[in-house]
Chains A and B, each alone.
Chain A
Amino acid sequence: MNELFRRILWLPVQGSTVAGEVDALHYAVITITMIGATGVFAAALYFTWRYRRTDEAALTPPIRAPLLLELAVVGGLLCLFLLFWRVGFQQYLRLQSPPADAIEIYVTGKQWMWKFAYPGGQRTNARLVVPAGRPVKLIMTSRDVIHSFYVPAFRIKQDVLPGRYTTAWFEVVRPGVYPLFCAEYCGTGHSEMEAEVVALSGADWEAWIAGAEEESMAAQGLEVAARRGCLSCHTLDGQRHVGPSFRGLYGGVRQLIDGEAIADEAYLTRSMMEPAAQVVAGYAPVMPTYLGQLDAGEVAALVELIKSLRHPNPPPPGVDYPPIAPAAPTEAAP
């Protein structure tokens, strides 16, 4: 029954603990009010047909509604509407009251991306990783204009304001990936201010939060490469495919169809944005541009991934190569 209603009404999956009960109220309110509205409209249509004008000169009886009937109808309707409100407000209270044992995550909205910071120091962009089955409290603010944190599958939304902190909370029922939107108009890139909530099972979450700090950008790059479809043409093991392999790419001299280039960061970035500009000899210029598709963080992660694969041969099994030390970060004063 729930599933039937949900599909008829085009509602997203019920990803959070509150979604089910909010939807139940939704079904009840919509069903009752639509039946009522149909009744009223049908009565109007019936009267119009039944009392259609047959005699041009006919007089009509001066029927006036008895006050008691008016009061009864209005009173009954008011009780019904206030009942809807009572249940709805109760749910609203719950939506607005994060449980005391919730995990806290800091959210920053800015034109046009979402940033998430964890108490352990982990940070992510456009990807809110949370445990399933545990309440998560978000403490949110904006760097510029008003944004709104909206996860349709969780039935929650909260404006994110500059100069203030607002909170929201949810508890994901099942591990999975749920789209996250900005719902408050925030300018040119409003519709591209997307992110996702990744809910992990208990064990995965523990592993992620423990490893996240050490999750190198290269590891993030691997995810990006998988998500953005890079790996359907580029391999990681040196094998030739539609495009050159990522392995052994960085730092080498590339023979292009019209010259050569050193595969440095600038070359790699340009190859993503303007793939037709520097095509490696022997490959067809078939790569689509990723200009406007990859955000700055994703590009950086991909570059780091390719850098981490600079060694031309795959490591023999059982041998751990030392990770490539990233360039010493120029630490700005905090």
Chain B
Amino acid sequence: MSSYLGPPTTIRSWLFSTDHKRIGVMFLVATTVMLALGGVLALLLRIEHLTPGPTIMQAATYNRVFTLHGVIMVWLFMIPSIPAAFGNFVLPIMLGARDVAFPRLNLASFWIYVAGSLVTLAGVVASGADTGWTFYVPYAAETFTEVMPILVGVFILGWSTILTGINFIVTTHTLRAEGMRWREVPLFVWALYGTSVIQVLATPVLAMVLLLVAFDHGLGWGFFDPARGGDVVLFQHLFWFYSHPAVYIMILPAMGVVSEVVCTFARKVPLSYVAIAASTFGIAFVGFLTWGHHMFVAGMSIVDAGIFGALSMFVAIFSAIKVFTWVGTLYRGSISFRTPLAYVFVFLFLFVFGGMTGVAVASTSLDVHWHDTYFVVAHFHFIMVGGTLTAWLAALHYWWPKITGRRYAEKWGLVTCTLTFLGFFTTFFPQFLLGNGGMPRRYYLYDETYQALHVLSTAGSWALGSAFAITLVYLAWSLVYGERAEGNPWGSRSYEWLTSSPPPPHNFDGTPVFRHSPYDYHLPPGS
């Protein structure tokens, strides 16, 4: 039986394919390369912190490395990781469509991503910027490092994000299989829909603010230069107006993955479909109104700080709704503890405990002590990075048979998942304590009293790095030697498993008609 994997199998047939599945796979490969790059930079940063003084690099190098680590992980990995790779692959299949609404735009999105990445990485080769991924002015306008390629690169990447977002929204509206009602749309699609809305609405603001910084840095204009009537805090408002919702661009697709994996492996109707879908939009909406919580000590008005603090609590509420619903879905299920579910448990751990530290920082006065310390670093690495990464790994294992037609080695999966958890916890838990102890972030040198925790954190990073390397090896191994997957190895009722694995070029043989909800595990199969 022919599958999307070919024939044709030429490189050209991949690079210029408008098949959403091939584009999804290309995004998966490209973003994984970026993850590896960002990960190596992270390992270097951790090694540097083994000693309080200089260890393996100079201060100027250190500043460039943490900037590039952030830029690569945020824009080249986390934002496109789940939507552009797994979203592209499964969204049309979940809807029973042959492809996305605009297949050529989809291919354009991939090439724009490649172009943006290359421009950004060219900046790295040129000299590397030392502004931090946040580009705070006036430092970003004044730095002697090459910040321009990165600003331009991220600007270009924004277009890729916007195009993918538009494509998903239109596809969801127009290409659902005949008879699929809104209440039957899989939860992962709802998550991608919410994400796409944020991408389309927020990314232009980032594009705008990056252009303004580029004008300031490259042409000496003075939008943010106080000496010429500019406003340095205005930059932060504009930047976080995008970059806070961007956190939900990262985490909403991750939540979508969790919803799918929980229902499939518990063989259970979600405790509340409406609560999961609606809370997605609750987060997407409130997420636009919480950017100010990045600025409690930036010199904003006290009233604003109060409002932003209270609104931030609502994000916690919507997230809590999801968590309760997932846990409730496990109740009286028929639970098979496989690698994807194991990663969902790591997700839950990081998301729930990390999320609680989010409630703590939203309690405004506590943030005053924690702001710009390692506490915040640990907080967002738990919840945003940890959440996205573990859900990405869950998705990778869950849809691996769908994408490749092969089974990965389950034992290796579970063992590596445990190592990932231990590595993640050991890397970032000590950083909460460092932050409590008052260690500011982005510090090249630090006081000796912090060293023990730093060494522990570095040890954790090695475990985490090894876990990724092992994953890469056993997944690559399975491509050749893995057992062939049947159509539906997990016994899932979700629509993407109704077609063969790997799917045929046009997803379904014939026009699919879905006569059941994607989660009707209470009914005998085929009824």
Contact A29 B330 (CB under 8 A): no
Q: Which of A12, A88, A156 contacts B366 (CB 8 A)?
A: A88
Q: For B373, what are the chain A residues with a Cβ–Cβ distance below 8 Å?
A: 183
Q: For B59, what are the chain A residues with a Cβ–Cβ distance below 8 Å?
A: 188-189, 191
Contact A33 B356 (CB under 8 A): yes
| Min CB gap B57→A, angstroms | 12
| Min CB gap B400→A, angstroms | 20
Contact B313 A85 (CB under 8 A): yes
CA distance A158 to B295 in the complex (A): 10
CA distance A44 to B351 in the complex (A): 13
| Min CB gap A201→B, angstroms | 24
Q: For A82, what are the chain B residues with a Cβ–Cβ distance below 8 Å?
A: 310, 313
Q: Which residues of B479-509 are within 8 A (CB) of A?
A: 491
Q: For B355, what are the chain A residues with a Cβ–Cβ distance below 8 Å?
A: 37
Does residue A283 face the partner (Cβ distance < 8 Å to B)? no
Contact with A along B318-350 (1 / 0, CB 8 A): 001101111110111111110001000100110
Does residue A159 face the partner (Cβ distance < 8 Å to B)? yes
| Min CB gap B285→A, angstroms | 16
Contact B271 A64 (CB under 8 A): yes
Interface locus among B92-100, B158-166, B441-449: B441-449
Q: Which of B268, B298, B491 contacts A159 (CB 8 A)?
A: B298
Contact B444 A61 (CB under 8 A): no
Quick one: closest B residue to A34, CB to CB?
B356
| Min CB gap B238→A, angstroms | 15
CA distance A259 to B314 in the complex (A): 76
Contact A150 B440 (CB under 8 A): yes
Does residue B17 face the partner (Cβ distance < 8 Å to A)? no
Does residue A63 face the partner (Cβ distance < 8 Å to B)? yes
Listed by A's residue number, 6 A-B pairs whose Cβ atoms lie within 8 Å are A41-B353, A47-B335, A51-B330, A53-B336, A59-B523, A94-B365
Q: For A92, what are the chain B residues with a Cβ–Cβ distance below 8 Å?
A: 296, 302, 305-306, 309, 364-365, 368
Contact with A along B448-492 (1 / 0, CB 8 A): 000001000000000000000000000000000000000000010
Q: For B366, what are the chain A residues with a Cβ–Cβ distance below 8 Å?
A: 22, 25-26, 29, 88
Contact B309 A85 (CB under 8 A): yes
CA distance A237 to B99 in the complex (A): 88
Contact B309 A89 (CB under 8 A): yes
Contact A144 B138 (CB under 8 A): yes
Contact A63 B132 (CB under 8 A): no
Q: For B266, what are the chain A residues with a Cβ–Cβ distance below 8 Å?
A: 51, 60
In this complex, how many residues of chain B approach chain A with their Cβ under 8 Å: the count is: 92
Question: Given known contacts A37-B353, A164-B226, A191-B443, what 6 new A-B pairs fall within 8 Å (CB)?
Answer: A12-B438, A41-B348, A84-B359, A92-B309, A146-B138, A183-B371
Q: For A150, what are the chain B residues with a Cβ–Cβ distance below 8 Å?
A: 372, 438, 440
Given A47-B331, A188-B63, do A81 and B372 touch, yes or no (CB 8 Å)?
no
Q: For B441, what are the chain A residues with a Cβ–Cβ distance below 8 Å?
A: 183, 185
Q: For B335, what are the chain A residues with a Cβ–Cβ distance below 8 Å?
A: 47-48, 51-53
CA distance A85 to B227 in the complex (A): 37
Q: For A47, what are the chain B residues with a Cβ–Cβ distance below 8 Å?
A: 327, 330-331, 333, 335
| Min CB gap B488→A, angstroms | 13
Does residue B16 face the partner (Cβ distance < 8 Å to A)? no
Contact A161 B271 (CB under 8 A): no
Contact A74 B321 (CB under 8 A): yes
Does residue A40 face the partner (Cβ distance < 8 Å to B)? yes
Q: Which of A10, A81, A93, A152 contacts B359 (CB 8 A)?
A: A81
CA distance A28 to B233 in the complex (A): 33
Contact A87 B363 (CB under 8 A): yes
Contact with B along A1-39 (1 / 0, CB 8 A): 000000001111000000000100110011001101100
| Min CB gap A288→B, angstroms | 13
**Secondary structure of the B side of the interface?**
helix
Q: For A41, what are the chain B residues with a Cβ–Cβ distance below 8 Å?
A: 348-349, 352-353
Does residue B269 face the partner (Cβ distance < 8 Å to A)? yes
Given A11-B436, A155-B369, do A85 and B271 touch, yes or no (CB 8 Å)?
no
Does residue A226 face the partner (Cβ distance < 8 Å to B)? no
Does residue B275 face the partner (Cβ distance < 8 Å to A)? yes
Given A30-B360, A150-B440, do A44 and B348 touch, yes or no (CB 8 Å)?
yes
Quick one: closest B residue to A32, CB to CB?
B356
Does residue A192 face the partner (Cβ distance < 8 Å to B)? yes
Q: For B328, what are the chain A residues with a Cβ–Cβ distance below 8 Å?
A: 63, 65
Q: Which of B309, B317, B331 contacts A63 (CB 8 A)?
A: B331
Top 3 A-B residue pairs of the complex, sorted by shortest distance between their CB atoms: A163-B226, A152-B438, A88-B363
Does residue B217 face the partner (Cβ distance < 8 Å to A)? no
Q: Which of A26, A40, A77, A189 contacts B327 (CB 8 A)?
A: A40
Q: Which residues of B122-156 are within 8 A (CB) of A?
A: 130, 132, 136, 138-139, 142-143
Given A47-B327, A62-B269, do A55 and B317 touch, yes or no (CB 8 Å)?
no
CA distance A235 to B133 in the complex (A): 50
Q: Which residues of B410-454 are within 8 A (CB) of A?
A: 433-434, 436-438, 440-447, 453
CA distance A91 to B296 in the complex (A): 13
Contact A162 B438 (CB under 8 A): no
| Residue of B230, B233, B369 with highest tally of chain A CB at under 10 A | B369
Q: Which residues of B56-90 are within 8 A (CB) of A?
A: 59-60, 63
Q: For B272, what are the chain A residues with a Cβ–Cβ distance below 8 Å?
A: 64-65, 70
Does residue A296 face the partner (Cβ distance < 8 Å to B)? no
Given A152-B437, A190-B442, do A78 and B313 touch, yes or no (CB 8 Å)?
yes
Q: Which residues of B257-271 are within 8 A (CB) of A?
A: 266-269, 271
Given A92-B305, A187-B63, do A40 and B232 touch, yes or no (CB 8 Å)?
no
Q: For B321, what are the chain A residues with a Cβ–Cβ distance below 8 Å?
A: 70, 74
Contact B309 A163 (CB under 8 A): no
| Min CB gap B293→A, angstroms | 11
| Min CB gap B486→A, angstroms | 14
Q: For A145, what are the chain B residues with a Cβ–Cβ distance below 8 Å?
A: 136, 138-139, 142
Q: Which of B130, B297, B364, B522 contacts A62 (CB 8 A)?
A: B522
